Amino acid sequence: MDISTQNTDEAPPPTSQPSAALQKRASRGATRPGDRIFLGLSRGSGIFLLVIMAAIAVFLTYRASLAISKDHGNFLTTFEWNTNTIPPVFGIAVLAFGTVVSSIIAMALAVPVAVAIALFITHYAPRRLSGPVAYVIDLLAAVPSIVYGLWGALVLVPHMNGLFGWLDKYFGWTGIFSWQGGAPRSMLTVSILLAIMILPIITNVSREVFRQVPQMHEEAALALGATRWEVIRMSVLPFGRSGVISASMLGLGRALGETMAVATVLSPTFDINASLLDPGGGTFAQNIASKFGEATADGRDALIASGLVLFVITLLVNGAARVIIARRAEYSGANA
Amino acid sequence: MSHSAPAMGKRPSTLRGATLPKWSPWAIAAGAVVLAVVIGLVGGLDSKVQWGLIAGILFVLGTYGIAARVEGRRQAKDRVATSLVWVCFLIAVVPLASLIWTTVKRGVKVFDIYFLTHSMGVVADSEPGGGIYHAIIGTLEQVGLATLIAAPIGVLTAVYLVEYGRGKLSTAITFFVDVMTGIPSIVAGLFILSLMLILDLEPFGFAGSLALAILMMPVVVRSTEEMLKLVPNELREASLALGVPKWRTILKVVLPTSIGGITTGVMLAVARITGETAPVLLLVWGTNFINTNPFSGAQASLPLYIYQQYANSAGSNAAYDRAWAAALALIAFVMILNMVARGIARWKAPKTGR
Amino acid sequence: MKLQRKNRLRALSLGAVAVSGALALTACGSDDTGTKSSATGGATTGSASSIKCDDAKGQLLADGSSAQKNAIDAWVKAFSAACSGVQINYKGGGSGAGVTAFTQGQVAFAGSDSALKPEEVAASKKMCTGGGQGIDLPMVGGPIAVGFNVPGVDKLVLNASTVAKIFDSKISKWNDSAIAKLNPGVTLPDLKIQAFHRSDESGTTDNFTKYLIAAAPSDWKYSGGKAWQAKGGQSAPQSSGVAQQVKQTSGAIGYMELSFAKDGIKAASIDTGASAPVDATVENATKAIADAQVIGTGKDLSLKLNRATKADGAYPITLVTYEIVCDKGNKSDSLAATKAFLTYIASEDGQKVLSSIDYAPIPADIIAKVRTTIAGLS
């Protein structure tokens, strides 16, 4: 390591340093060779991260531009993905639709439940239960997505038949819930699976936020005779709102980019179907994973182009989440 | 609150309104379940999921109805909130418990020493036999290499952000590290793939490690950053006041104080990337044989093995059994890492002086 | 200071444990040689004596058609038993992936359900050094079964027109009059037809739709190709995925290689206009392939199948899988292993394995040409 070799270039004796100037000079880190090297190393690795991000953007854009220039359809609006034909014709409309719809439904299902579980852990559960529950949910956040996929395809899908039949019977007239009776490997099943997958993440972050609600606020509300629900509505939820939003965004980012779970569960077709229950549609990540095997060189570039769009979407979502979090900057021990 | 006024008006003259007995939620829940079962049986609903949903709805409605009659609307709302939270909790627990239960139940079938110490070798996908040894080796090597790359870079970046970082550069790094956390794993895989296409490389284990390292770095940075921020400034100031150079202060005071938390963060990051399938699918190819060299030739990995057993099985039960058993091994590995990491975190938590 | 040293020690010991654990692990595992498993699929895996390893060794990477995956699995098993120095890693990623990997020089040979296109041959010239190019060697024939899963129905006869209409969502019920007319005496349920096609691009789809275009041009208006074009229906990845879904779904129908149509999936017989409906069997497929003409030039042996055949007992929906190698300029480090393996699978023993696992051997006169070509590979 460079650091150990620098041990020999020991800094000048401390007594020669006026203590008032020490903090200032040290923080610039340019005074001693050891500091300079260490600063260089740590700044270098920070810059390296930025370079990676830039490289991802550049390389994906480069390959994507190769593909798009050969595309004989409209990249944004074509409802086809025929990259091996000559000329190739492909477009991301179906993928964009499927990705956004499945993620939004997953959010709609997961966020209320996740907030409820977070409240359950922080405010409702008996103390003996809340600790273990929080721990288990923490662990569940680490279950690999391929396991969710395996479970979704072999356990969840057969269980969806009943629900789909019921939805079709009573809400089939809406068109959204009409069902032709195919195997329930559809967008709705995908959304439900995604909701189950992102539930632990959203729960964990929301729970942390709810824990930070000042005790005083809650006690004040209780002292005014508020019921527990009123305490939550008046003091806990307003305080935690931005935290919940950013947690949801993190979950949304996860749902947008989920690959294997969608690839194992969905029966993909390349068109937009009004019904969520009939098989069809696709998402960016699923399309890449399932089309990759048969793709020719042009096909791979086309898939990379769709990956670039996914990259941009997740960047926007995550960026938005961070901006919301940044509004309530936290106190930091260092650099205070 | 708009609804409090009428509620006040209806309140009986005694100071405390009537309250439901303590056992009432349990009674209502039991009633809801019984009613749901009856409805399910009469209505001929064959899905147990529907029975559960009906029971949940009945429970919430019943609570509201009864509580509104006895205790007034404010209390009723409170009780509805309570029951909703409970129902949500139960709804969420069912799939998660089912996931763990199915994996364990179906995974133990072929999970034995033979399974752990043999590769698939020449066993065809639809036949019984074979094991996950090659996949374990692949996963350990790929994840190990990824950790070797990502952990130092991640920790150093965090040190920069916390100890040195000021100005535009650190703002940019902070922002992009946060954004990087959300990169879909398949995009990281595509990035390395586009490099490989340019360099004309065959798939090999280390390519997967590179993609995994990209996914791991931001996680390490985030967690290390949090840990470094917890180190009290007094420690730094004391060290600096003694004339210790800043870099030695960081190495000898700041990092050792937070080493427990950093280890935890790294282990959690390892646990996360261990389960990634997509980049491995694109970059490492998968093989049925043992390949201990991550720098040349295709390798297997546990998540990829699960996917391939599922996808190539043609519905063969032998392959499903292997997939579940591999899933069990993967979950066990990730869980153990998690528990150890959390154990270390609790054990070595820095005294924050609070 | 003491605290830190303890920390470092602990970290060191942790690392040591991890490393030694990994080392211990590498020491104790081994490849499954298939001795434990009850060999169900490849029961007759050929006698080892016919396999000549020569100086073949090392890892042989190959990729391509998932249609021949089961055949390759059986061959690899027999071959590895004889030549322990060779590891053959065939990934059934699909024909397109195989050809791409081949032209990029990533694999020693590729398996493909369709012959190389001119531009692919051109691309292969970069990889095959010394003026060589990629050539197609027909090695495995296979009937594509129209597999169905309809409760109460064991035998089903379909013709090109009904198959086309079913997969184009024009016929949606099993008791449709078009199906009933072909199946007198069979009680067809009032059940929705769930037609499954491949979600990935595939040579199976290509061959299946080529049949529909040739035999039912008025009912199948699409241009064909590896990607599925008709609207409606459901999809699953790879033959394995289609088989999996058909097996699990009541009222399902799908196309797949015959070797996947088992355990609850039954294969429909095809009314080709011959005297009797033709069953999807290995013999009937061989009969259809025997009709094929070699259209490849030079060392290339690509075939042209007669898909609208009306010959008695010739099953029309077949595909031929080619192994694709360089005629000259194969990579020197894998040439010996490639040649040894291809020689084995083209040998009489190798071809004999096929019919026991639901593939069709290549007719004798064509396979003889294949053998001479393999002998001349360099």
B85/A120 CB distance under 8 A: yes
Question: Is A309 inside a domain boundary?
Answer: yes
Same domain, A106 and A49: no
With a cut of 70, say whether residue C117 has pLDDT above it: yes
Average pLDDT over residues B204-228: 92
B127/C76 CB distance under 8 A: no
Find the helix or strand (DSSP H, E) in which C318 lies. Answer: strand C318-326
Q: Which residues in chain A have their CB less than 8 angstroms from residue C237's CB?
A: 263, 290
* Average pLDDT over chain C, rounded to an integer: 82
Cα A60–A64–A67 angle (5° rounding)?
A: 150
Nearest CA-CA distance, residue C291 and chain B, Å: 31
Question: Is A139 inside a domain boundary?
Answer: yes
What Cα–Cα distance (Å) separates residue C75 from each residue in B207, C82, C102, C357? Answer: 30, 11, 21, 11
Cα B332–B334–B337 angle (5° rounding)?
A: 105
A294/C225 CB distance under 8 A: no
For B119, which of C31, C59, C263 is closest by C-beta distance? C31
Same domain, A187 and A215: yes
pLDDT at B330: 93
For A147, which of B85, B271, B331 is closest by C-beta distance? B331
pTM score: 0.86
For C120, nearest residue in chain A (alpha carbons): A296
Q: Quick one: what percent of chain B has pLDDT higher than 90?
A: 29
Band of pLDDT at residue A4, cut at 50, 70 and 90: very low
Report helix, strand or coil for C234. Answer: strand
Counting one residue from B and one from C, how many pairs have CB atoms under 8 Å apart?
Answer: 124
A267/C236 CB distance under 8 A: yes
Positions at the binding site of C for phosphate: 65-67, 95, 113, 202-204
Average pLDDT over residues C208-225: 90
Q: How many independent structural domains does chain A possess?
A: 2
Nearest CA-CA distance, residue B124 and chain A, Å: 20
B156/A322 CB distance under 8 A: no
Nearest to A136 by CA among B111, B87, B99: B99
**How do residues B279-296 score in pLDDT, each as one tens digit?**
998 888 788 888 888 988
Phi, psi of A66 (to 5 degrees): -60, -45
pLDDT at A331: 36
Q: Write down which residue in A31, A52, A70 finishes a domain.
A: A70
Chain position carrying tokens 């089912």: B98
Distance CA C330, CA C307 (A): 34
Residue ranges of domains in chain B: 17-107, 117-348
Nearest CA-CA distance, residue B292 and chain A, Å: 24
Local structure of residue C278 (DSSP, 8 states): B
Report helix, strand or coil for C144. Answer: strand
With a cut of 80, say whether residue B276 has pLDDT above it: yes
Residue ranges of domains in chain C: 58-141+295-306+320-376, 143-288
Q: Does residue B71 contact residue B59 with C-beta atoms inside 8 Å? A: no
For the four alpha carbons of C73, C79, C83 and C88, in that order, the dihedral sign comes to: negative
Please name the amino acid found at residue B322. Answer: R
Is some CB atom of chain C closer than 8 A to the CB atom of A81?
yes
Residue B25 or residue A305, greater confidence = A305
B99/A148 CB distance under 8 A: yes
Name the class of domain C58-141+295-306+320-376: alpha beta
For C233, nearest residue in chain A (alpha carbons): A279
Q: Which residues in chain A have their CB less than 8 angstroms from residue C233's CB?
A: 269
Cis peptide before C184 (omega within 30 of 0): no
Average pLDDT over residues C140-154: 91
pLDDT at B46: 65
**How do residues A58-103 score in pLDDT, each as one tens digit?**
999 998 998 888 888 888 888 888 887 778 888 899 999 999 999 9
For B252, which of C4, C30, C260 is closest by C-beta distance? C4
Nearest CA-CA distance, residue B334 and chain A, Å: 7
C59/B144 CB distance under 8 A: no
**How do residues C58-101 score in pLDDT, each as one tens digit?**
778 888 887 888 889 889 888 888 888 888 888 777 777 788 88
Chains near A with 3+ CB pairs less than 8 A apart are B, C
With a cut of 70, say whether residue C26 has pLDDT above it: no
Local structure of residue B349 (DSSP, 8 states): P
Distance CA A126, CA A110 (A): 23
For B303, nearest residue in chain A (alpha carbons): A146
pLDDT at C41: 38
pLDDT at A283: 92
B164/A39 CB distance under 8 A: yes
Question: Is A26 inside a domain boundary?
Answer: yes
For C94, nearest residue in chain A (alpha carbons): A294
For A182, which of C225, C227, C234 is closest by C-beta distance? C234
For C244, which of B141, B288, B314 is closest by C-beta distance? B314
Question: Is A15 inside a domain boundary?
Answer: no
Query: Which of C235, C238, C240, C244 is the best residue to mutate to test the A interface, defined by the most A CB atoms within 10 Å of its own CB?
Result: C235
C25/B140 CB distance under 8 A: yes
pLDDT at C34: 61
For B254, nearest residue in chain A (alpha carbons): A334
Same domain, A88 and A232: yes
Q: Cβ of C273: how many Cβ atoms within 10 Å? A: 15
For B127, which of C11, C22, C40 is closest by C-beta distance? C40
Question: Is A53 inside a domain boundary?
Answer: yes
3-state helix, strand, coil in chain A (%, to 5): 70, 0, 25
* Average pLDDT over chain B, rounded to an integer: 85
Q: Which residues in chain A have their CB less than 8 angstroms from residue B217's CB?
A: 49, 52
Average pLDDT over residues C155-164: 92
pLDDT at C12: 53
Q: Which residues in chain A have their CB less than 8 angstroms from residue C235's CB?
A: 267-269, 279
Could you tell me which residues are beta bridge partners of residue C278?
C270
Local structure of residue C1 (DSSP, 8 states): -
Same domain, A259 and A225: yes
A230/B181 CB distance under 8 A: no
Nearest CA-CA distance, residue B237 and chain A, Å: 8
Query: Which of B113, B120, B122 is the best residue to mutate to test the C interface, defined by the most C CB atoms within 10 Å of its own CB?
Result: B122
For the four alpha carbons of B45, B47, B52 and B53, in that order, the dihedral sign comes to: negative
Structure tokens of A144?
């690999």
Q: How many residues does chain C have?
A: 378
Band of pLDDT at residue C40, cut at 50, 70 and 90: very low
What Cα–Cα distance (Å) separates residue A245 from each residue in A96, A113, A315? Answer: 23, 14, 16
**How do residues B74-89 score in pLDDT, each as one tens digit?**
888 888 888 888 888 8
**How do residues A230-279 score in pLDDT, each as one tens digit?**
888 888 888 888 888 888 888 898 899 899 899 989 988 888 888 888 88
Same domain, A115 and A177: yes
Distance CA A320, CA B5 (A): 40
Name the class of domain C143-288: alpha beta
Find the helix or strand (DSSP H, E) in which C136 lies. Answer: strand C134-149
Q: Which residues in chain C have their CB less than 8 angstroms from residue B136's CB?
A: 25, 29
Positions at the binding site of C: 65-67, 95, 113, 202-204
Close Cβ partners of A16 (under 8 Å, ≥ 6 residues apart): none
A294/C96 CB distance under 8 A: yes
Band of pLDDT at residue B23, cut at 50, 70 and 90: confident
For A257, which of B162, B172, B184 is closest by C-beta distance? B184
Structure tokens of A269?
């077709």
Query: Which of A267, A273, A303 is the best residue to mutate to test the C interface, defined by the most C CB atoms within 10 Å of its own CB?
Result: A267
pLDDT at B45: 67
Identify the domain containing residue A58 by its residue range.
20-70
Q: Does residue B188 contact residue B124 with C-beta atoms inside 8 Å? A: no
pLDDT at B192: 92
Q: Cβ of B176: how many Cβ atoms within 10 Å? A: 21
Query: Which of A3, A83, A294, A296 is the best residue to mutate to test the C interface, defined by the most C CB atoms within 10 Å of its own CB?
Result: A294
Q: Give the A window 115-144 contacts with B, CB below 8 Å.
A: 116-117, 119-120, 124-125, 133, 135-136, 138-140, 142-144
pLDDT at A1: 37
Nearest CA-CA distance, residue A52 and chain B, Å: 8
Average pLDDT over residues A144-154: 92
For A289, nearest residue in chain C (alpha carbons): C200
Q: Which residues in chain C have their CB less than 8 angstroms from residue B127's CB?
A: 37-41
Nearest CA-CA distance, residue B114 and chain A, Å: 22
Same domain, A164 and A25: no
For B121, which of C34, C74, C105 is closest by C-beta distance? C34
Please name the amino acid found at residue A35. Answer: D
Please give the ipTM for the structure prediction. Answer: 0.87
pLDDT at A165: 83
Nearest CA-CA distance, residue A178 and chain C, Å: 15
**How do residues B119-142 score in pLDDT, each as one tens digit?**
887 787 778 888 899 999 999 999
**How do residues B90-102 score in pLDDT, each as one tens digit?**
888 888 889 999 9
For B169, nearest residue in chain A (alpha carbons): A47
Name the CATH topology of B117-348: MetI-like fold (1.10.3720)
Domain pair C58-141+295-306+320-376 / C143-288, same fold: yes
A294/C226 CB distance under 8 A: yes
Buried b (16+ CB within 10 A) or exposed e, B58-73: bbbebbbebbbebbbe
**How do residues B56-69 score in pLDDT, each as one tens digit?**
888 888 888 888 88
Band of pLDDT at residue C21, cut at 50, 70 and 90: low
For B230, which of A45, A321, A333 is closest by C-beta distance? A333
pLDDT at C46: 42
pLDDT at A13: 42
Chain position carrying tokens 């050094």: C129
**How do residues B46-59 score in pLDDT, each as one tens digit?**
666 777 778 888 88
Report helix, strand or coil for C217. Answer: coil
